A and B are shown apart, each in its own frame.
Chain A
Amino acid sequence: MWKAKRKAVCSALLASGLLTSSMLSLAADSEQLTTQSSKLSLENCHIDGIKEQIQCGTLTVPENYQAPSGQQIDLHFTVLSAIDNSNNKIPLMFLAGGPGQAATELSAMLRNRFYEVRKTHDIILVDQRGTGQSSQLKCHDEAFTAKSVYESLTFDFEVSEVQDCIAEFNQDLSQYNSENAIRDFDAVRAALGHDKINIYGGSYGTRAALIYMRMFPQSLNSVVLDSVAPLDMRIGLFGQSGARSYELLLSNCQAEESCQQAFPNLDEDYQKVFNQLVVKPVELTIAHPRLGTPTKLVIDVEKFVTTIQLQLYSLEGRSIMPLVINQAAQGNFMPFVGVLAAGDEKQPRGSVYSNLLMNIACNEDFPLIAEQDWQADANNGFARNISHRGVRLVCPLWPKYRPDASFYEPIRSDIPTLILSGKLDPVTPPENGERADQMLANSRHIVAEHLSHIVAVNDCGVGLVAKFIDELDLEGLDASCLAELPAETFMTSLNGNM
């Protein structure tokens, strides 16, 4: 049961772009947030996937913190109460990834997965402004709601469609940035009456956490950075890190006897399909994976590569990739279609709200990427420049705001910080964690040899988080259970294997 759930959960955690930052960097220490409890409402509620009632809340905050009496927005958040509250332990706030995941949509998943934390700590989840139920950036543009994942191509949309979508927003886009998101989170903390909180950030959530450490250090008791996206990394430049993760897949397949026997030339298989699709996309008529009716399937090289790249984020996805690639090389694209089908949902719970992703990535990261950066990143043997195309198409069309230079400065802090990385990670490789570890005065970096994106995906990883926020003892933290996790294994036949 848990296994089936975990699969869905892990795929939900794929933050497809990952990271962020923000604008209007004012001297943080001069900032005072005045929150009035009258703007706070809190009630018991039901949320999909949790049988018991949890607490749902709304906090009204200004859209622009520089104009506190201007336009107001409602932030939506949930609180998962600790099982045992008798010790009044400091709660944990979960900062979601993306940018663009709505944290409250992960409530059910976290309630199960962070059980060890929830035993004694409340868990607070806030929808980042622009996502979920916090003033979501909505538009009805077809470009962002694909008609069919089987037929549509990644880039068959018009520039005008993107512009029409942007025109539909009634928010001031320049306010939907990383720093304001942190002001929101800290306002929720204050409104709930907590002097200090622990924060856990995963993926883009780590960038949010780093900014939090800079803006409101006095609010933080401890920090966990899981799969780090430091401020000096650029969302969109994932060519090299993706290729690195793919190379590890190849070498791990060669290391496993059955995988090596079944797919001795896996990289050749991949390159063969890649080159074939560059020349001409595959067009077939298949039975629709869900409807069962004949439907048109088009696979171009972008669709092929981006789908595989997304599977590299999770062990479940990785376990079937060699087979999917090898079958495609033999002309059987049905396994690939099966993988596509798993993502055939308009806005699955916990997925990234792409408008906020674009708003942040196109303003906080894209402008800083020079042409030679793009070229250097494209010089790889996996996705080449394919992962760049979406961002490079859309970002020039996006309304512009710019953070100050100070926004990008490295963060110095002596708040106790646990840094976690998965060695197989295709977007936030362990070297990112290493850089963060060097910057921070009071931190420890732990690399999980056999995990991919996000380390707190199993009892061992979550146990580390729980123990750390309980004891704040970086030195004494025993991470041996991560080392004991088995190496990744692969499916080697269409019916599975022994």
Chain B
Amino acid sequence: MSAAFGQLRALIVKEFKEAFRDKRAMMVAFSMSLLAPVMIMVLSKTMIKELVETPPVYAEIVGAEYAPKLVKEFTDENILPLSESKEDDLRIWQERGIKITIPETYGQDMVEGNIIDVVLNADYSDKPSLAPIRRIKDVITDHARTIGYKRLVMRGVDVRILQPLNLVEQDRAQPSSNAMMISTMLGLYLLMGAFMSGLSIAIDSSAGERERNVLEMLLCQPVSTTKIVLAKLSCAASISILSIVLMLVVTSITVGFVDLSKIGATFSIDAGMFIALLALLIPVCILAAALQLFFSFQAKSFKEAQSTVTMLIMLPAFIPFILMFIDDRPLWLDWLPVAGQSIIIEDMFKGLAINWTAFAFTSVTTIALAAVLVMTLAQKLKSEKVVMALS
């Protein structure tokens, strides 16, 4: 027993040595776990900017002197006359050419209660102009509504009659302030990372070794094919597990550079969640490695493995993406490998209680599937066809 185990250990050590010798393959393996957090950070930053920031808008305001109170509302919302813009901004805003025209009769029409036409002239097909246009419209509508309410008060009307219905909204979601956009992205990247990180290592240790004639040597040794496959699997799976740990740690750090409180959210992964995520993803990493090895051994050459296997492996990695677009998910999805994990990760970030049965079941089915693949592969490696890529 111990001798058998010693054999396996020697094989695993050999696989790791091979893997770590190829620096470029390692770079590729960990590139995703370093890129994903950076992507998450950059995307969140831009999204938050779109949502809450009110950078200065410069518009030509014709007739500002006729409506000082309205212009003050504009100023409060950081919408400023073109004349106040700085040198380098000036050109950009002149080109955009947003123009607000306030009529000369503004003051008198206001007192007389006539409708006043305020003209907003802009290019509505120009994407950068859209947010400024929206903000200008909001200021004008709010200002008009405030005046309208006051007019009614002055006529002895209870302004609440303007609101016959008051919608009281009650959100049943768990009060977790985890930023949904970040957890959604991270969930996707984690599953993709589990699938993609070990890929270069798996291809190299299967199709690659065959081309380098290392595989023949290995199979000549008095060891069972199962052990060989297991050793290769351990190596590729460990690389993806490492990559996921790295992704979680680096994400926790990079998210610190995003001021999420601007949108009333935070993001943190505590120890419990970290362990749960890891427990959930380790089976996925093992399955991914098994699939990668299985298809790489089927490939005729190293090159073919690189192209086709990459394509094939992409498919399960896209399952979480597809799930995003399925609103009414059938129950059996909870139990499937990858889909199940994806749904549980989503719930975890929402702060919902983990469905432990589904957790256990998906883990078991995932491991079982991997086991079937390993056994099949071990069987196949006994045939010359596979070893010599003759099939």
Contacts and interface: CB of A to CB of B under 8 A. Distances in A.
Contacts of B171: 51-53
B106 interface: yes
A491 interface: yes
Contacts of B70: 498
B102 to A, nearest CB: 9
Interface string B85-111: 000000000000000000000110011
A289 B158 contact: yes
Given A341-B158, A344-B158, A497 B111 contact: yes
A320 B154 contact: yes
Contacts of B1: none
A145 B268 CA distance: 50
A321 to B, nearest CB: 12
Contact of B151 (A115, A494, A498): A494
Interface stretch (B142-150, B187-195, B301-309): B142-150
Contacts of A286: 156
Contacts of A287: 156
A74 B170 CA distance: 26
Interface string B279-311: 000000000000000000000000000000000
Given A320-B154, A334-B155, A335-B153, A86 B266 contact: yes
B13 interface: no
Contact of A498 (B66, B168, B266): B66
Interface extent on A, as a size class?
35 or more
Contacts of B154: 320, 323, 327, 334-335, 338, 491, 494-495
Interface string A302-338: 0000000000000000001001000100000111111
Given A498-B106, A498-B110, A337 B156 contact: yes
B151 A496 contact: yes
B365 to A, nearest CB: 34
Nearest to B102: A498
Nearest to A320: B150
B111 A3 contact: no
Given A4-B149, A83-B261, A289-B158, A498 B69 contact: yes
B122 to A, nearest CB: 23
Given A342-B153, A498-B69, A83 B158 contact: no
A333 B154 CA distance: 9
Contacts of A341: 153, 156-159
Interface string A470-498: 00000000000000001001010111111
A289 B157 contact: yes
Interface string B57-92: 000000000111110100000000000000000000
Contact of B153 (A115, A333, A338): A338
Nearest to B163: A4
Contact of B68 (A337, A339, A495, A498): A498
Interface in B314-345: none
Interface in A278-293: 286-287, 289-290
A86 B265 CA distance: 12
B349 to A, nearest CB: 16
B161 A52 contact: no
Given A51-B170, A289-B156, A489 B69 contact: yes
Nearest to B160: A290
Nearest to A489: B69
Contacts of A497: 69, 107, 110-111
A183 B112 CA distance: 58
Contacts of B146: 3-4
A407 to B, nearest CB: 40
B264 interface: yes
A291 B169 CA distance: 27
Interface stretch (B172-180, B199-207, B218-226): B172-180
B282 to A, nearest CB: 27
Nearest to B151: A495
A290 B68 CA distance: 33
A85 B150 contact: no
| Residue of A51, A52, A342 contacting most chain B CB atoms (<10 Å) | A52
B175 A334 contact: no
Nearest to A494: B154
Contact of B158 (A86, A290, A496): A290
B133 interface: no
A289 B157 CA distance: 4
B325 to A, nearest CB: 26
Nearest to A81: B175
A373 B249 CA distance: 68
B147 A496 contact: yes
Contacts of B368: none
Contact of A83 (B110, B157, B173, B177): B177
A27 interface: no
A498 B113 contact: no
Contact of B261 (A4, A53, A84, A493): A84
A162 interface: no
A85 B72 CA distance: 37
B352 to A, nearest CB: 13
Contacts of A334: 154-156
Contacts of A486: 72
A48 interface: yes
A44 B175 contact: yes
Given A320-B150, A320-B154, A334-B156, A498 B107 contact: yes
Contacts of B175: 44, 52-55, 81
A140 interface: no
A338 B155 contact: yes
A412 interface: no
A346 interface: no
Interface in A409-434: none
Contacts of A336: 156
Nearest to B148: A496
Given A81-B177, A338-B153, 7 more contacts: A44-B174, A55-B175, A84-B261, A115-B264, A290-B161, A495-B112, A495-B151
14 contacts: A51-B169, A54-B175, A83-B260, A115-B264, A289-B157, A337-B156, A338-B157, A341-B159, A342-B159, A489-B69, A491-B154, A494-B154, A496-B151, A498-B68
Interface of A: 1, 3-4, 44, 46, 48-49, 51-55, 81, 83-86, 115, 119-120, 286-287, 289-290, 320, 323, 327, 333-339, 341-342, 344, 486, 489, 491, 493-498
- Across the A-B interface, give the 5 residue pairs with the lowest CB-CB distance, nearest first: A338-B153, A334-B156, A337-B156, A341-B158, A498-B107
